[in-house]
Chains A and B, each alone.
Chain A
Amino acid sequence: MANPIDQFKIQPLVPLNVGGLDISFTNSAAMMVLSIGLITLFLTLSVRSRALVPGRWQSMAEIFYEFIAGMLRDNVGSEGRKYFPFIFTLFMFVLFGNVLGMIPFPVIGFTYTSHVIVTFAMALVVFTGVTIIGFARHGTHYLRMFFPEGAPIATAVILIPIELISYFSRPFSLAVRLFANMTVGHIILKVMGGFVVSLGAFYLVPGVVPFAFLSAITVLEFGIALLQAYVFTILSCIYLHDAIHMH
Protein backbone atom coordinates (compact mmCIF):
# COMPACT_ATOMS: atom_id res chain seq x y z
CA MET A 1 0.00 0.00 0.00
CA ALA A 2 1.38 3.37 -1.11
CA ASN A 3 2.10 5.94 1.53
CA PRO A 4 -0.88 8.35 1.60
CA ILE A 5 1.58 11.21 1.96
CA ASP A 6 3.28 10.41 -1.35
CA GLN A 7 0.57 12.15 -3.34
CA PHE A 8 1.78 15.50 -2.00
CA LYS A 9 5.34 14.92 -3.21
CA ILE A 10 6.56 17.43 -5.71
CA GLN A 11 8.35 15.95 -8.70
CA PRO A 12 10.41 18.19 -10.93
CA LEU A 13 9.49 17.44 -14.53
CA VAL A 14 11.87 19.97 -16.13
CA PRO A 15 14.67 21.06 -13.81
CA LEU A 16 15.36 24.78 -14.29
CA ASN A 17 17.76 27.03 -12.49
CA VAL A 18 18.00 30.74 -13.25
CA GLY A 19 20.71 32.71 -11.46
CA GLY A 20 20.90 30.28 -8.56
CA LEU A 21 17.10 30.30 -8.11
CA ASP A 22 15.38 26.95 -8.50
CA ILE A 23 12.38 27.43 -10.76
CA SER A 24 11.98 23.81 -11.89
CA PHE A 25 8.80 23.02 -13.76
CA THR A 26 7.17 20.53 -11.38
CA ASN A 27 3.96 18.51 -11.35
CA SER A 28 2.49 21.30 -9.20
CA ALA A 29 3.45 23.93 -11.78
CA ALA A 30 1.99 21.72 -14.51
CA MET A 31 -1.34 21.65 -12.68
CA MET A 32 -1.27 25.43 -12.24
CA VAL A 33 -0.62 25.90 -15.95
CA LEU A 34 -3.32 23.35 -16.83
CA SER A 35 -5.80 25.08 -14.56
CA ILE A 36 -5.25 28.60 -15.87
CA GLY A 37 -5.35 27.19 -19.42
CA LEU A 38 -8.68 25.47 -18.76
CA ILE A 39 -10.12 28.52 -17.01
CA THR A 40 -9.16 30.80 -19.89
CA LEU A 41 -10.42 28.38 -22.54
CA PHE A 42 -13.67 27.83 -20.68
CA LEU A 43 -14.39 31.50 -20.11
CA THR A 44 -13.46 32.69 -23.59
CA LEU A 45 -14.82 29.88 -25.77
CA SER A 46 -18.13 29.73 -23.91
CA VAL A 47 -19.03 33.37 -24.65
CA ARG A 48 -17.60 33.36 -28.17
CA SER A 49 -21.06 33.26 -29.75
CA ARG A 50 -22.24 36.14 -27.50
CA ALA A 51 -25.71 34.59 -27.61
CA LEU A 52 -28.61 36.62 -26.26
CA VAL A 53 -30.12 33.42 -24.92
CA PRO A 54 -27.12 31.58 -23.49
CA GLY A 55 -26.34 27.94 -24.10
CA ARG A 56 -25.05 25.55 -21.44
CA TRP A 57 -21.41 26.64 -21.47
CA GLN A 58 -22.19 30.33 -21.73
CA SER A 59 -24.69 29.98 -18.88
CA MET A 60 -22.00 28.46 -16.70
CA ALA A 61 -19.51 31.23 -17.47
CA GLU A 62 -22.19 33.82 -16.73
CA ILE A 63 -23.11 32.07 -13.48
CA PHE A 64 -19.49 32.21 -12.31
CA TYR A 65 -19.26 35.87 -13.28
CA GLU A 66 -22.50 36.85 -11.60
CA PHE A 67 -21.81 34.70 -8.54
CA ILE A 68 -18.53 36.49 -7.81
CA ALA A 69 -19.90 39.89 -8.82
CA GLY A 70 -22.85 39.32 -6.48
CA MET A 71 -20.60 38.15 -3.65
CA LEU A 72 -18.45 41.25 -4.02
CA ARG A 73 -21.47 43.56 -4.23
CA ASP A 74 -23.14 42.02 -1.15
CA ASN A 75 -20.01 41.93 0.99
CA VAL A 76 -18.05 44.96 -0.11
CA GLY A 77 -20.50 47.21 -1.95
CA SER A 78 -19.97 49.30 -5.04
CA GLU A 79 -16.41 50.30 -4.01
CA GLY A 80 -15.40 46.67 -4.43
CA ARG A 81 -16.05 46.86 -8.17
CA LYS A 82 -12.42 47.56 -9.08
CA TYR A 83 -11.16 44.52 -7.15
CA PHE A 84 -13.53 42.26 -9.08
CA PRO A 85 -10.89 40.89 -11.51
CA PHE A 86 -8.59 39.98 -8.62
CA ILE A 87 -11.31 38.31 -6.53
CA PHE A 88 -12.57 36.48 -9.62
CA THR A 89 -9.06 35.27 -10.47
CA LEU A 90 -8.53 34.16 -6.88
CA PHE A 91 -11.78 32.19 -6.84
CA MET A 92 -11.23 30.50 -10.19
CA PHE A 93 -7.60 29.65 -9.38
CA VAL A 94 -8.48 28.05 -6.03
CA LEU A 95 -11.61 26.36 -7.39
CA PHE A 96 -9.82 24.76 -10.34
CA GLY A 97 -6.90 23.77 -8.10
CA ASN A 98 -9.32 22.03 -5.74
CA VAL A 99 -11.50 20.38 -8.37
CA LEU A 100 -8.74 19.33 -10.79
CA GLY A 101 -6.93 17.89 -7.75
CA MET A 102 -9.83 15.44 -7.41
CA ILE A 103 -9.12 14.03 -10.86
CA PRO A 104 -6.25 11.51 -10.87
CA PHE A 105 -4.29 12.74 -13.91
CA PRO A 106 -1.32 10.51 -14.76
CA VAL A 107 2.11 11.90 -13.76
CA ILE A 108 0.94 15.46 -13.04
CA GLY A 109 -2.07 14.53 -10.84
CA PHE A 110 -1.60 16.92 -7.95
CA THR A 111 -3.55 19.37 -5.79
CA TYR A 112 -1.56 22.58 -5.53
CA THR A 113 -4.03 24.00 -2.96
CA SER A 114 -2.93 21.22 -0.59
CA HIS A 115 0.43 22.94 -0.28
CA VAL A 116 0.61 25.42 2.54
CA ILE A 117 3.21 27.55 0.77
CA VAL A 118 0.80 28.14 -2.11
CA THR A 119 -2.22 28.92 0.05
CA PHE A 120 -0.13 31.04 2.40
CA ALA A 121 1.27 33.07 -0.48
CA MET A 122 -2.23 33.79 -1.73
CA ALA A 123 -3.48 34.59 1.78
CA LEU A 124 -0.52 36.90 2.33
CA VAL A 125 -1.23 38.75 -0.91
CA VAL A 126 -4.86 39.23 0.21
CA PHE A 127 -3.79 40.30 3.71
CA THR A 128 -1.11 42.73 2.50
CA GLY A 129 -3.36 44.14 -0.18
CA VAL A 130 -6.22 44.64 2.24
CA THR A 131 -3.96 46.34 4.77
CA ILE A 132 -2.54 48.67 2.11
CA ILE A 133 -6.07 49.52 0.90
CA GLY A 134 -7.12 50.20 4.50
CA PHE A 135 -4.27 52.61 5.18
CA ALA A 136 -4.62 54.24 1.77
CA ARG A 137 -8.32 54.96 2.34
CA HIS A 138 -8.30 55.88 6.00
CA GLY A 139 -4.70 56.86 6.80
CA THR A 140 -3.78 56.44 10.44
CA HIS A 141 -7.48 56.28 11.25
CA TYR A 142 -7.26 52.67 10.04
CA LEU A 143 -5.57 51.89 13.37
CA ARG A 144 -9.05 52.33 14.86
CA MET A 145 -9.58 48.79 13.61
CA PHE A 146 -7.75 47.65 16.74
CA PHE A 147 -9.73 49.78 19.16
CA PRO A 148 -13.33 50.44 18.13
CA GLU A 149 -14.88 53.85 18.70
CA GLY A 150 -16.98 54.19 21.84
CA ALA A 151 -15.28 51.41 23.78
CA PRO A 152 -14.31 52.39 27.35
CA ILE A 153 -10.64 53.37 27.53
CA ALA A 154 -10.03 50.88 30.34
CA THR A 155 -10.81 47.98 28.03
CA ALA A 156 -7.96 48.98 25.71
CA VAL A 157 -5.55 46.76 27.62
CA ILE A 158 -7.53 43.67 26.67
CA LEU A 159 -9.17 44.83 23.44
CA ILE A 160 -6.10 45.99 21.52
CA PRO A 161 -4.09 42.75 21.91
CA ILE A 162 -7.14 40.69 20.99
CA GLU A 163 -7.86 42.78 17.90
CA LEU A 164 -4.18 42.69 16.90
CA ILE A 165 -4.02 38.94 17.25
CA SER A 166 -7.26 38.45 15.35
CA TYR A 167 -6.08 40.78 12.60
CA PHE A 168 -2.67 39.22 12.15
CA SER A 169 -3.96 35.67 12.36
CA ARG A 170 -6.11 36.29 9.29
CA PRO A 171 -3.55 35.16 6.67
CA PHE A 172 -2.71 32.08 8.73
CA SER A 173 -6.30 31.02 9.25
CA LEU A 174 -7.06 31.68 5.60
CA ALA A 175 -4.05 29.67 4.41
CA VAL A 176 -4.31 26.83 6.91
CA ARG A 177 -8.07 26.36 6.40
CA LEU A 178 -7.67 25.67 2.69
CA PHE A 179 -4.44 23.70 2.98
CA ALA A 180 -5.66 21.51 5.84
CA ASN A 181 -9.01 20.75 4.22
CA MET A 182 -7.39 19.70 0.98
CA THR A 183 -4.61 17.70 2.61
CA VAL A 184 -6.85 15.81 5.01
CA GLY A 185 -9.43 15.08 2.33
CA HIS A 186 -6.85 13.61 -0.01
CA ILE A 187 -5.26 11.56 2.76
CA ILE A 188 -8.65 10.05 3.63
CA LEU A 189 -9.29 9.26 -0.02
CA LYS A 190 -5.93 7.57 -0.33
CA VAL A 191 -6.29 5.58 2.88
CA MET A 192 -9.78 4.43 1.89
CA GLY A 193 -8.53 3.52 -1.57
CA GLY A 194 -5.79 1.48 0.07
CA PHE A 195 -8.38 -0.38 2.16
CA VAL A 196 -10.44 -1.16 -0.92
CA VAL A 197 -7.43 -2.69 -2.67
CA SER A 198 -5.89 -4.56 0.28
CA LEU A 199 -9.16 -5.93 1.66
CA GLY A 200 -10.81 -6.55 -1.71
CA ALA A 201 -7.79 -8.55 -2.85
CA PHE A 202 -8.53 -11.22 -0.26
CA TYR A 203 -12.29 -11.09 0.15
CA LEU A 204 -14.88 -9.47 -2.04
CA VAL A 205 -17.36 -8.48 0.66
CA PRO A 206 -14.99 -6.63 3.05
CA GLY A 207 -13.73 -4.69 0.01
CA VAL A 208 -17.23 -3.45 -0.75
CA VAL A 209 -17.59 -1.65 2.57
CA PRO A 210 -14.58 0.68 2.21
CA PHE A 211 -15.49 1.13 -1.47
CA ALA A 212 -18.94 2.41 -0.51
CA PHE A 213 -17.33 4.66 2.07
CA LEU A 214 -14.80 5.86 -0.51
CA SER A 215 -17.59 6.73 -2.94
CA ALA A 216 -19.39 8.76 -0.29
CA ILE A 217 -16.17 10.50 0.73
CA THR A 218 -15.43 11.33 -2.91
CA VAL A 219 -18.78 13.11 -3.22
CA LEU A 220 -18.08 14.91 0.04
CA GLU A 221 -14.61 15.92 -1.17
CA PHE A 222 -16.04 17.45 -4.33
CA GLY A 223 -18.38 19.42 -2.10
CA ILE A 224 -15.46 20.52 0.06
CA ALA A 225 -13.46 21.48 -3.04
CA LEU A 226 -16.25 23.88 -4.07
CA LEU A 227 -16.97 25.05 -0.54
CA GLN A 228 -13.35 25.85 0.35
CA ALA A 229 -12.90 27.90 -2.81
CA TYR A 230 -16.04 29.79 -1.82
CA VAL A 231 -14.87 30.24 1.77
CA PHE A 232 -11.43 31.48 0.72
CA THR A 233 -13.01 34.04 -1.61
CA ILE A 234 -15.76 35.24 0.69
CA LEU A 235 -13.31 35.73 3.57
CA SER A 236 -11.14 37.80 1.24
CA CYS A 237 -14.26 39.85 0.42
CA ILE A 238 -15.03 40.33 4.11
CA TYR A 239 -11.46 41.49 4.83
CA LEU A 240 -11.77 43.85 1.88
CA HIS A 241 -15.02 45.17 3.32
CA ASP A 242 -13.31 45.82 6.66
CA ALA A 243 -10.53 47.72 4.93
CA ILE A 244 -12.92 49.87 2.91
CA HIS A 245 -15.69 50.52 5.43
CA MET A 246 -13.89 49.57 8.67
CA HIS A 247 -16.12 47.81 11.20
Chain B
Amino acid sequence: MPQFDPTFFAPQLFWLLLTFVTLYVLMNTVALPKIGAVLEERQRKIDDNLDKAAHLKAEAEAAVAAYERALSESRAHAHAVIKEASDRLAHEADERNRALAARLAEQIKAGEVRINQAKTEALANVRDVAADVAGSIVARLVGSDADAGRLQTAVASALEEHGK
Protein backbone atom coordinates (compact mmCIF):
# COMPACT_ATOMS: atom_id res chain seq x y z
CA MET B 1 0.00 0.00 0.00
CA PRO B 2 1.33 3.47 -0.86
CA GLN B 3 0.34 4.65 2.64
CA PHE B 4 3.21 2.69 4.18
CA ASP B 5 5.82 3.78 1.66
CA PRO B 6 8.13 6.12 3.58
CA THR B 7 9.34 7.88 0.40
CA PHE B 8 6.69 10.57 0.71
CA PHE B 9 6.49 10.86 4.50
CA ALA B 10 8.69 13.96 4.48
CA PRO B 11 6.72 15.99 1.90
CA GLN B 12 3.42 14.81 3.44
CA LEU B 13 4.46 15.99 6.90
CA PHE B 14 5.91 19.22 5.55
CA TRP B 15 2.78 20.19 3.63
CA LEU B 16 0.51 19.03 6.44
CA LEU B 17 2.40 21.24 8.88
CA LEU B 18 2.39 24.17 6.47
CA THR B 19 -1.30 23.98 5.53
CA PHE B 20 -2.52 23.15 9.04
CA VAL B 21 -0.62 25.99 10.66
CA THR B 22 -1.76 28.37 7.91
CA LEU B 23 -5.35 27.28 8.41
CA TYR B 24 -5.02 27.66 12.19
CA VAL B 25 -3.67 31.20 11.81
CA LEU B 26 -6.37 32.11 9.29
CA MET B 27 -9.13 30.69 11.49
CA ASN B 28 -7.77 32.22 14.67
CA THR B 29 -7.20 35.70 13.31
CA VAL B 30 -9.73 36.11 10.50
CA ALA B 31 -12.61 33.67 10.20
CA LEU B 32 -13.52 32.80 13.80
CA PRO B 33 -13.43 36.35 15.21
CA LYS B 34 -15.65 37.45 12.31
CA ILE B 35 -18.26 34.74 12.85
CA GLY B 36 -18.01 35.18 16.61
CA ALA B 37 -18.61 38.92 16.25
CA VAL B 38 -21.67 38.32 14.09
CA LEU B 39 -23.11 35.84 16.60
CA GLU B 40 -22.31 38.08 19.53
CA GLU B 41 -23.89 41.09 17.87
CA ARG B 42 -27.04 39.13 17.16
CA GLN B 43 -27.19 37.88 20.74
CA ARG B 44 -26.67 41.42 22.01
CA LYS B 45 -29.41 42.76 19.78
CA ILE B 46 -31.79 40.01 20.91
CA ASP B 47 -30.99 40.72 24.56
CA ASP B 48 -31.42 44.45 23.96
CA ASN B 49 -34.80 43.93 22.37
CA LEU B 50 -35.89 41.61 25.16
CA ASP B 51 -34.81 44.19 27.71
CA LYS B 52 -36.68 46.88 25.85
CA ALA B 53 -39.78 44.70 25.63
CA ALA B 54 -39.63 43.94 29.35
CA HIS B 55 -39.17 47.64 30.08
CA LEU B 56 -42.15 48.61 27.93
CA LYS B 57 -44.25 45.90 29.51
CA ALA B 58 -43.42 47.15 32.99
CA GLU B 59 -44.29 50.68 31.89
CA ALA B 60 -47.60 49.53 30.45
CA GLU B 61 -48.40 47.66 33.64
CA ALA B 62 -47.57 50.70 35.75
CA ALA B 63 -49.83 52.83 33.54
CA VAL B 64 -52.67 50.32 33.92
CA ALA B 65 -52.21 50.27 37.69
CA ALA B 66 -52.19 54.08 37.85
CA TYR B 67 -55.29 54.23 35.70
CA GLU B 68 -57.10 51.75 37.88
CA ARG B 69 -56.08 53.55 41.04
CA ALA B 70 -57.28 56.86 39.60
CA LEU B 71 -60.52 55.23 38.51
CA SER B 72 -61.25 53.74 41.93
CA GLU B 73 -60.26 57.00 43.64
CA SER B 74 -62.58 59.07 41.51
CA ARG B 75 -65.34 56.52 41.96
CA ALA B 76 -64.98 56.75 45.73
CA HIS B 77 -64.91 60.54 45.50
CA ALA B 78 -68.07 60.57 43.40
CA HIS B 79 -69.77 58.32 45.95
CA ALA B 80 -68.83 60.67 48.75
CA VAL B 81 -70.09 63.72 46.85
CA ILE B 82 -73.39 62.05 46.00
CA LYS B 83 -73.94 60.89 49.57
CA GLU B 84 -73.11 64.32 50.99
CA ALA B 85 -75.46 66.04 48.51
CA SER B 86 -78.34 63.66 49.14
CA ASP B 87 -77.87 64.01 52.91
CA ARG B 88 -77.91 67.77 52.65
CA LEU B 89 -80.97 67.77 50.42
CA ALA B 90 -82.86 65.39 52.68
CA HIS B 91 -82.04 67.60 55.66
CA GLU B 92 -83.19 70.71 53.82
CA ALA B 93 -86.44 69.07 52.73
CA ASP B 94 -87.10 68.00 56.30
CA GLU B 95 -86.51 71.50 57.57
CA ARG B 96 -88.77 73.03 54.96
CA ASN B 97 -91.48 70.50 55.64
CA ARG B 98 -91.38 71.30 59.31
CA ALA B 99 -91.47 75.08 58.67
CA LEU B 100 -94.36 74.71 56.27
CA ALA B 101 -96.30 72.56 58.73
CA ALA B 102 -95.75 75.12 61.49
CA ARG B 103 -96.92 78.00 59.29
CA LEU B 104 -99.96 76.06 58.18
CA ALA B 105 -100.86 75.23 61.76
CA GLU B 106 -100.58 78.93 62.64
CA GLN B 107 -102.79 79.94 59.75
CA ILE B 108 -105.35 77.34 60.71
CA LYS B 109 -105.41 78.68 64.27
CA ALA B 110 -105.82 82.27 63.04
CA GLY B 111 -108.62 81.17 60.73
CA GLU B 112 -110.42 79.45 63.56
CA VAL B 113 -110.20 82.61 65.70
CA ARG B 114 -111.60 84.70 62.84
CA ILE B 115 -114.42 82.24 62.30
CA ASN B 116 -115.35 82.38 65.98
CA GLN B 117 -115.40 86.16 65.92
CA ALA B 118 -117.55 86.20 62.82
CA LYS B 119 -119.88 83.71 64.44
CA THR B 120 -120.41 85.74 67.61
CA GLU B 121 -120.81 88.91 65.54
CA ALA B 122 -123.34 87.17 63.35
CA LEU B 123 -125.22 85.90 66.37
CA ALA B 124 -125.37 89.42 67.86
CA ASN B 125 -126.65 90.77 64.56
CA VAL B 126 -129.32 88.06 64.45
CA ARG B 127 -130.76 89.36 67.80
CA ASP B 128 -130.92 92.96 66.56
CA VAL B 129 -132.46 91.96 63.26
CA ALA B 130 -135.00 89.74 65.06
CA ALA B 131 -135.93 92.63 67.42
CA ASP B 132 -136.29 95.03 64.47
CA VAL B 133 -138.40 92.56 62.53
CA ALA B 134 -140.54 91.82 65.56
CA GLY B 135 -141.01 95.59 66.22
CA SER B 136 -142.06 96.22 62.62
CA ILE B 137 -144.47 93.29 62.68
CA VAL B 138 -146.03 94.49 65.96
CA ALA B 139 -146.36 98.01 64.60
CA ARG B 140 -148.11 96.84 61.51
CA LEU B 141 -150.42 94.53 63.45
CA VAL B 142 -151.20 96.82 66.35
CA GLY B 143 -150.81 100.09 64.70
CA SER B 144 -148.43 101.57 67.25
CA ASP B 145 -144.83 101.04 68.21
CA ALA B 146 -144.27 98.30 70.77
CA ASP B 147 -142.30 98.88 73.86
CA ALA B 148 -138.59 98.22 73.04
CA GLY B 149 -137.84 96.64 76.43
CA ARG B 150 -140.56 94.06 76.11
CA LEU B 151 -139.59 93.30 72.53
CA GLN B 152 -136.03 92.57 73.62
CA THR B 153 -137.13 90.12 76.31
CA ALA B 154 -139.59 88.42 73.94
CA VAL B 155 -136.92 87.90 71.27
CA ALA B 156 -134.46 86.64 73.85
CA SER B 157 -136.96 84.12 75.21
CA ALA B 158 -137.94 83.03 71.67
CA LEU B 159 -134.31 82.51 70.79
CA GLU B 160 -133.83 80.53 73.95
CA GLU B 161 -136.88 78.48 73.14
CA HIS B 162 -135.27 77.50 69.79
CA GLY B 163 -132.06 76.62 71.50
CA LYS B 164 -130.03 79.40 69.96
Contact = CB atoms under 8 A, between A and B. Distances in A.
Contacts of A22: 7-8, 10-11
Is the interface on chain B under 10, 10 to 19, 20 to 34, or 35 or more residues?
Answer: 35 or more
Contacts of B31: 39-40, 43-44, 47
Contacts of B30: 40, 44
Contacts of B8: 10, 12, 22, 24, 26, 28
Contact of B13 (A8, A62, A117): A117
B67 interface: no
B19 A32 contact: yes
Contacts of B42: 52
Contacts of B34: 43-44, 47, 50
A92 interface: yes
Nearest to A22: B10
- Chain A CB count within 10 A is highest, among B16, B24, B31, B36, for B31
A15 to B, nearest CB: 9
Interface in A74-114: 84-86, 88-89, 92-93, 112, 114
A65 interface: yes
A88 B27 contact: yes
A5 B9 CA distance: 18
A192 to B, nearest CB: 19
B19 A47 contact: no
A105 B110 CA distance: 136
A236 B34 CA distance: 25
Given A5-B1, A50-B37, A65-B35, 12 more contacts: A5-B2, A12-B8, A23-B15, A25-B11, A26-B12, A40-B26, A43-B32, A43-B35, A65-B32, A89-B23, A89-B28, A93-B23
Given A10-B8, A47-B35, A65-B39, A36 B2 contact: no
